[in-house]
Structure 1
Amino acid sequence: MAPPEPVPHAPARGRTARPEGVTAPPTGDAVLEARSVSKRFPGVVALDDVSFALRAGETHALVGENGAGKSTLIKILTGVHQPDGGGLRLGGRSVSFARPAEAQRAGISTIHQEVNLVPLMSVARNVFLGREPRNRLGLIDFARMHRETTELLDGFGIHVDPRKPLRTLGIGTRQMVALARAVSVDARVVIMDEPTSSLEPREVETLFHVIGNLRGRGVAVLYVSHRMDELYRICDRVTVLRDGRHVHTGDLAGLDRTRLVPMMLGRDLSEIRRTGPTGFGGAEHDTARTPVLTATGLERRHQLHDVSLSLYGGEVLGLGGLLGSGRSETAKALAGVLGLDSGDITVGGRKLRGTGPVAAIRAGISLLPEDRKAEGIVPGLSVRENIVLAAMPRLSRFGVVSRREQDRIVDIFMKRLRIKASSPEQKVGELSGGNQQKVLLARWLCLEPEVLLLDEPTRGIDVGAKAEVQGLIDELAREGIAVLLISSDIEELIEGADRIVVLRGGSVAGELAGDTVTESHLLDVLADHSPAPAGTDPAAQEDPR
């Protein structure tokens, strides 16, 4: 089954988009509408009289800072939450969804930023979950389910055994499985929440082909992304939310970024990011200096082969490579999360004593993991508890933890990182993705690390929060912290890193420094299809995480 062919953009239907600054979007032949929707949580007005309309056959961008109300609006459209005021219309009729299953049966399908599937189940069971094919005896027809799953995934360029547990796949592959499930149902509306956050460029192109196919069938696509290039490439119209209110709806083609971004932020981007275009740290790499951290000959079967690098205080070292190249594995090895077969790590000239995360933390190494939901935040705990979690041993005296000291530290970092929460006692799971990321940063910064390993620190957060995080990285580098930055965003690596080490197949493929830290040089190394150094298992590239 070949990948779906792109379909030319369908002409926009319904009323003509209103001028910039409107307070309500056009509603002509909308397939899905939210009318004057409001939603309140304890201490927070998440949505305030928001109206929104999605037309059949269009791709509609929904943008705004984290905390603007995007996720709440999506949850209301999909039956996760019910509005406190206003209502929904689907196909011109008033509807009310008490639970997500009702929205799905009505033809609203969702692809979440954080893959919402069942890791222990097989790929096929996840694709057909809740609608498994049955044989004449009413039993699940596994042969048919496996065959149809294979055909479906082949169309997305994903070639995996449908009987394989989902948890054994890389995060990018899992996202494609979620995409395949969402579009395989007979949906009238497909909502995509940061669908490319874990995808390689090749997979992104496949996604765009799928979106073109959906448009050609008259399916309405609601597209949420913080990546401006994607929005301008595939979206027809855009709706901007800010602080829970509707700010603007109109054609995207006539709205350039210099006008769109201030709408989202309520202020100019230059007011947020305190750094220039030359990078976060701007530190000069002096080979005469002693590195803060040195890794030599890191080996782990099927994942890392002879990885060596050095980190200097006050610099940002970028770690580049495609999914499956060994970026996250390298960071986890440095932080003691991933065991090594061989290799040495020294911090401050001393060999790392012991193994595991505790030894790394004691040596001054902190890791901000890629998957904040699975490996970072504890959603049921408060903001305060999440921030001080790693610092508890330091705050404890004779087994007693001072609440006053906790409050002091939490107050410092909530102000410094501009964490938006109703109070330190609000559950962190209720915060936006950007604010959750800031809470994780606060957790590790309160340990005063010498080395900070950041794995995709700006993935899935809005342009405002992204600028704040980038400005913070710059500030930390100026304070002398050695920063390792992993990012799938090439522009972020080029602008943010003083040097870049590029990995391929679990090995170092090259290093860029000085004038060679450019997009063209980085792409040349990434696109090098020569064989990876001997000893690297190709399977590691197919099953990256």
Structure 2
Amino acid sequence: MQARDDDDCILRLEDVTKVYSGIVAVRHADLSLRRGAVNVLVGENGAGKSTLMRIIAGVEKPSLGRILLDGKEVEFHSPADAQRHGIGMVFQELNLFGNLSVAENIFATRELTRGFRGIDHRAQVERATGFLDRLDAGIDAETLVEDLPIGQQQLVEIAKAISLDTRILILDEPTSALSAAEVDVLFKVIRELKAQGVAIVYISHRLEELMRIGDYITVLRDGQITGHAMVKDIDTKWIVRSMIGSDAKDFAKSIAHRLGEEAFRAEDICLPRRTGGLAVDHVSISLRAGEVLGIYGLMGAGRSEFFECVMGQHPHSSGRVFVDGIEIDATDTAGRISAGLALIPEDRQREGLVQALSIASNLTLASLDRFVRFGFHIVGAREQASIEAAIRDLSIKAPNPDFEVTSMSGGNQQKVVIGKALMTKPKVLLMDEPSRGIDVGAKADVFRTMRRLAGEGLAILFSTSDLEEVMALSDRIAVMSNGRLVTVVGRADATEEMIVKASAEGHKTTREHA
């Protein structure tokens, strides 16, 4: 049996340790990746999953230990070096050039050329279109990446990885921004790659996905590998217990409290598309103090665009916004924040954080006026106390708040974005996919925070494509489809079938009117 395992194993990590500035991110890890199989890696945010994969992909070098590829010890000095050995990775945080086309991104650093005549753009577009068609992406290869929504950008990353013709393909949260239909297509491609003998490494916080696609599973906790199993021999409760020592799925129960007066109202919000039609189509919605209202919809529903309009990010949008019954005159984002609105964006890397700044600086960035004395002097003690409170209340794993925010795991970065928004003392909090890329333990922290804040009177409007989330967390549920508000229903009257049907019918109705 051991000989068979050795034959199946394409890459092995032996006693690998990675230390950053005295902090041990991975400790004495032993990991085997098998050919023609989906090797699932799970663990809470900060457990060391992404660090291990960055070592395999040549982004990081291990502090100790060794890497064996096909039984021979190797060293990867760069991602390009790892690619030459047949290793490709789709990173959790997108790694694309927004000002280049989709085709140019797919072939970046390995452009197709015509000898001395330079880059063969037509060939790149044709080849890129083939990879995109394989994913049923519906994306024009000549489109600028910055013009694509984040879900389609995720598909471009996956197409880029597939184009590398890899022997080992690492997928770090590949479905975090994909619709259910797009996930199905991705899984079909994964099964094709498995049949060709490719070793897939799959990282996700969506446990049902892991059970559906995985063959082997490895669990990490606090930088150490704590368990291995075949997926067919375990269930989701085993995964959760192995990760956090509990099998409870905590969506946070509603804190009993009376709802206040109307805290927020949007009237007739519209946003024209560049290509014609409306990305947000006459959306009107209201929210009471202490209420949690969930907006459900799939990619392209217009949820993010609606939030952006409310926050004044689209000068060419129209409609009216009220906070505590008073219409907001300010049309810019800073003015909307001053009026009591705050947004936690879906894309934390590009829109929620300044990556070159520290954890502490990111937390206070939007609320520095609270700590200023005599117009220009920042009171350090007051600022420090607020930083410590945010880290404590949100359970942010930040050994040193002065470290760069990029030194943290994705889930903890998301908590920093939430903390930054809360420091502005908003009356209305908009949360766009607040649990994207967050593990089950961190999700519980975020959901408890949402309920606690609602209990304290904060009005919360959040969007999600996760049906279970919207059903568990919302006092009322709104459904959007193709820019339109289809329905708003009380949680007591809502069923999953009703929500899915409303979303589907809204899509059908919009398409028929097109």
TM-score, length of structure 2 as denominator length: 0.94
2:486 to 502, 505, 509: 509
Q: Secondary structure at the match of 1:390?
A: helix
Q: How far apart, CA to CA, are the structure 1 residues paired with 2:360 and 2:160? A: 37
Q: How far apart, CA to CA, are the structure 1 residues paired with 2:465 and 2:441? A: 19
- 5 Å-filtered alignment, 1:148-187, equals 148-187=127-166
1:439 maps to a residue whose letter is V
2:242 to 263, 271, 276: 263
Q: How far apart, CA to CA, are the structure 1 residues paired with 2:405 and 2:94? A: 19
2:35 to 56, 68, 79: 56
- 5 Å-filtered alignment, 1:97-246, equals 97-137=76-116, 139-246=118-225
Q: Secondary structure at the match of 1:330?
A: helix
Q: Secondary structure at the match of 1:303?
A: strand
Deviation at 1:133, TM superposition (A): 2.3
Per-residue CA shift, 1:441-499, capped at 9, x if unaligned?
A: 11121222111111111100111001111111111111111001111111111111111
Residue 271 of structure 2 corresponds to which residue in structure 1? 300
Q: Secondary structure at the match of 2:508?
A: coil
Q: How far apart, CA to CA, are the structure 1 residues paired with 2:430 and 2:61? A: 40
1:332 to 293, 308, 319: 308
Deviation at 1:195, TM superposition (A): 0.3
Where does structure 2 lack aligned partners over 5 or more consecutive residues?
A: 273-277
- 5 Å-filtered alignment, 1:120-519, equals 120-137=99-116, 139-265=118-244, 267-268=245-246, 270=248, 273=250, 275-276=252-253, 280=254, 290-301=261-272, 302-339=278-315, 341-398=317-374, 399-519=376-496
1:382 maps to a residue whose letter is S
Per-residue CA shift, 1:96-116, capped at 9, x if unaligned?
A: 001110001100011112221
TM-score, length of structure 1 as denominator length: 0.89
Q: How far apart, CA to CA, are the structure 2 residues paired with 1:168 and 1:341? A: 17
Q: How far apart, CA to CA, are the structure 1 residues paired with 2:326 and 2:312? A: 16
Q: How far apart, CA to CA, are the structure 2 residues paired with 1:354 and 1:346? A: 11
Identity of aligned residues (%): 38
Cα RMSD between the aligned structures?
A: 2.0
Per-residue CA shift, 1:251-270, capped at 9, x if unaligned?
A: 112112222212111x3254
Q: How far apart, CA to CA, are the structure 2 residues paired with 1:138 and 1:98? A: 32
Q: Secondary structure at the match of 1:322?
A: coil
Q: Secondary structure at the match of 2:67?
A: strand
1:37 corresponds to 2:16: yes
Larger mean CA deviation between 222-231 and 164-173 belongs to 164-173
Q: How far apart, CA to CA, are the structure 1 residues paired with 2:162 and 2:317? A: 42
User: Contact 1:281–1:473 at 8 Å: present in 2 too?
Assistant: no
Deviation at 1:273, TM superposition (A): 4.2
User: Contact 2:94–2:157 at 8 Å: present in 1 too?
Assistant: yes
Q: How far apart, CA to CA, are the structure 2 residues paired with 1:120 and 1:305? A: 28
1:487 maps to a residue whose letter is T
Q: Secondary structure at the match of 2:489?
A: strand
Deviation at 1:137, TM superposition (A): 4.1
User: Contact 1:282–1:315 at 8 Å: present in 2 too?
Assistant: no
1:532 corresponds to 2:510: yes
Deviation at 1:151, TM superposition (A): 2.2
Q: How far apart, CA to CA, are the structure 2 residues paired with 1:274 and 1:206? A: 29
Residue 275 of structure 2 corresponds to which residue in structure 1? none
Q: Secondary structure at the match of 1:304?
A: strand
CA distance change for structure 1 residues 231 and 15 in 2, over 3 Å: closer, same or farther?
farther
Q: Secondary structure at the match of 1:355?
A: coil
Q: How far apart, CA to CA, are the structure 2 residues paired with 1:428 and 1:124? A: 31
1:342 maps to a residue whose letter is S
CA distance change for structure 1 residues 281 and 375 in 2, over 3 Å: closer, same or farther?
farther
User: Contact 1:68–1:244 at 8 Å: present in 2 too?
Assistant: yes
User: Contact 1:318–1:499 at 8 Å: present in 2 too?
Assistant: yes
Q: Secondary structure at the match of 1:388?
A: helix
Q: How far apart, CA to CA, are the structure 1 residues paired with 2:257 and 2:183? A: 34
Q: How far apart, CA to CA, are the structure 2 residues paired with 1:234 and 1:307? A: 38
1:530 maps to a residue whose letter is K
User: Contact 1:333–1:340 at 8 Å: present in 2 too?
Assistant: no
User: Contact 1:27–1:53 at 8 Å: present in 2 too?
Assistant: no
2:498 to 521, 524, 529: 521
1:69 maps to a residue whose letter is G
2:325 maps to a residue whose letter is G
Deviation at 1:194, TM superposition (A): 0.3
Q: How far apart, CA to CA, are the structure 1 residues paired with 2:40 and 2:458? A: 38
Per-residue CA shift, 1:374-415, capped at 9, x if unaligned?
A: 001112211111111111012111210101111111111111
CA distance change for structure 1 residues 514 and 434 in 2, over 3 Å: closer, same or farther?
closer
CA distance change for structure 1 residues 530 and 165 in 2, over 3 Å: closer, same or farther?
closer
Per-residue CA shift, 1:285-309, capped at 9, x if unaligned?
A: x7xx631101111122232221000
User: Contact 1:43–1:422 at 8 Å: present in 2 too?
Assistant: no
Equivalences, count: 507
Deviation at 1:197, TM superposition (A): 0.6
CA distance change for structure 1 residues 107 and 509 in 2, over 3 Å: closer, same or farther?
same
2:434 maps to a residue whose letter is P
Where does structure 1 lack aligned partners over 5 or more consecutive residues?
A: 1-12, 17-25, 539-545
Q: How far apart, CA to CA, are the structure 1 residues paired with 2:387 and 2:204? A: 30
